[in-house]
Amino acid sequence: MNARDLRCLAFEGDAATGSLRVLDQRLLPAIERWFECRSAGAVALAIRDMAVRGAPAIGIAAAYGVAIAVQEANRRGYPSIAVREAVEDTVNKLGATRPTAVNLFWALERCRTLAAQGADEASQFLELARAMHEDDAQGNRRIGETFASRIEDGMSLLTHCNAGALATGGYGTALAPIYVAHESGRRLHVYVDETRPRLQGARLTAWELSKVGVPFTLICDGMAASLMAKGKIQLAITGADRIAASGDVANKIGTYSVAVNAAHHQVPFHVAAPASTFDLSCPDGASIAIEERNPSEVTDWAGERTCPSGARVYNPSFDVTPARLVRSIVTERGEISPVHREQIAKVLGAPMDLAQPR
Ligand code: MRU
């Protein structure tokens, strides 16, 4: 299968009656089933429960969710003012699902702006969601093309979590250069961190790479340092959930360990992310909200408890890697290197356009 054909989101039908389908990532890799969202509430549930996950994908799903809410308001014959209220309610509901991935708030803000400009038809919101979806997929291909030349023939790379087609509008961010290099015939090997506690590496990245035919080896998170010490990894690359103005990167818990280990072993550590993942209103990583999830993700395994009852649990879903450990951030607008405030502004252009109102 070609990586371009992997998809996790599809809006089916017309603006008046269509629905959003998400490939249910809670069930992968065992079961490939699409979860149908016929209401904004269903989209919120899919995001909170991680049927759809990955920063760009949840932003796009939320935009479709707003279009579905407007569909319902149109069906009920609401006047414009009530449609705008429905958009506001939906934006608030969807914005309360997951706090760290800024793409969610970026997408919702665009929906809110469209409503403020007077849009009150589902077709207008669907057009916006579709444009975001397509832009993200195209941007990912640009990220892939920008960085692929750095993946030399015979190279072994490490990635953490899933920043592939399953996390985006298509093709992925961190996996995009890997796909481009693979498509151009380069031999490469990917070490995939399993990514405790939810196993996005084992369940999702390994699933994607198997589908596309990219050779990989699955490892437990704690194994990466010893592979680096043996010289088996030449480059590490991950995605991001939110990047502060300083270049500090919030991404899946365990990413910081990858970056520290990479620095210790002189393995370059890179991040790939679209411009919509930058939050220039966050001065640095310390101001990024980090989601904490249910302790059962840590205490239980396949429904069985794996620790004594009463064990205290810490379960942050993300951590922050300081900019000084990041060799470059690859975006659809170019590569940011060295990673610091001025270079970010230079590559992204007009930084104020990207500031997220809070
Ligand atoms: O909790 P998740 O699975 O939504 O976390 C996903 C990640 O951390 C990804 O690396 C990030 O969103 C980038 S996806 C292109």
Pair 122, 171 in one domain: no
From the list 241, 248, 279, 319, the catalytic residue is 241
* Ligand 1: centre distance to CA 164 (Å): 9
> For the chain, which residues score pLDDT lower than 50?
351-358
Pair 56, 174 in one domain: no
Pair 299, 192 in one domain: yes
Amino acid identity for residue 252 in this structure: K
pLDDT tens for 194-223 read 999 999 999 999 999 999 999 999 999 999
Atom of ligand 1 nearest to the CA of 58: 4
CATH classification of the domain holding 120:
1.20.120.420
**161: Cβ below 6 Å to ligand 1?**
yes
CA distance 356 to 314: 29
β-bridge partners, 83: none
- Protein residue with its CA nearest to atom 10 in ligand 1: 239
Take residue 141 and report the two structure tokens written for it.
Answer: 């291909």
The per-residue pLDDT for 358 is 35
Choosing from 139, 170, 199, the residue where a domain stops is 139
The per-residue pLDDT for 350 is 57
* Residue 160 φ/ψ, nearest 5 degrees: -125, 145
CA distance 337 to 80: 46
Pair 205, 286 in one domain: yes
Pair 130, 199 in one domain: no
Pair 236, 315 in one domain: yes
**For the chain, what is the domain count?**
2
The per-residue pLDDT for 357 is 40
The per-residue pLDDT for 302 is 87
Atom of ligand 1 nearest to the CA of 164: 15
* Ligand 1: centre distance to CA 247 (Å): 17
* Ligand 1: centre distance to CA 105 (Å): 15
Pair 228, 86 in one domain: no
Pair 75, 153 in one domain: no
**163: Cβ below 6 Å to ligand 1?**
yes
CATH classification of the domain holding 170:
3.40.50.10470
Q: Which domain holds residue 191?
A: 146-355
Pair 275, 213 in one domain: yes
Pair 272, 207 in one domain: yes
Atom of ligand 1 nearest to the CA of 291: 1
* Ligand 1: centre distance to CA 84 (Å): 31
| Reported pTM | 0.96
**167: Cβ below 6 Å to ligand 1?**
yes
In the chain, which ranges are continuous DSSP H helix?
40-48, 55-75, 80-95, 102-116, 122-148, 176-183, 200, 206-212, 224-229, 255-264, 296-299, 341-348
**241: Cβ below 6 Å to ligand 1?**
yes
pLDDT tens for 227-274 read 999 999 999 999 999 999 999 999 999 999 999 999 999 999 999 999
Pair 85, 153 in one domain: no
Pair 132, 166 in one domain: no
Amino acid identity for residue 213 in this structure: G
* Ligand 1: centre distance to CA 176 (Å): 14
Write b or e for each residue in 194-210: b if 16 or more Cβ atoms lie within 10 A of its Cβ, otherwise e: bbbbbbbbbbbbbbbbe
Tell me, yes or no, if 241 is annotated catalytic. yes
Per DSSP, the residues of 143-191 read HHHHHHTTS-TTEEEEE-S--SGGGSSSS-STTHHHHHHHHTT--EEEE
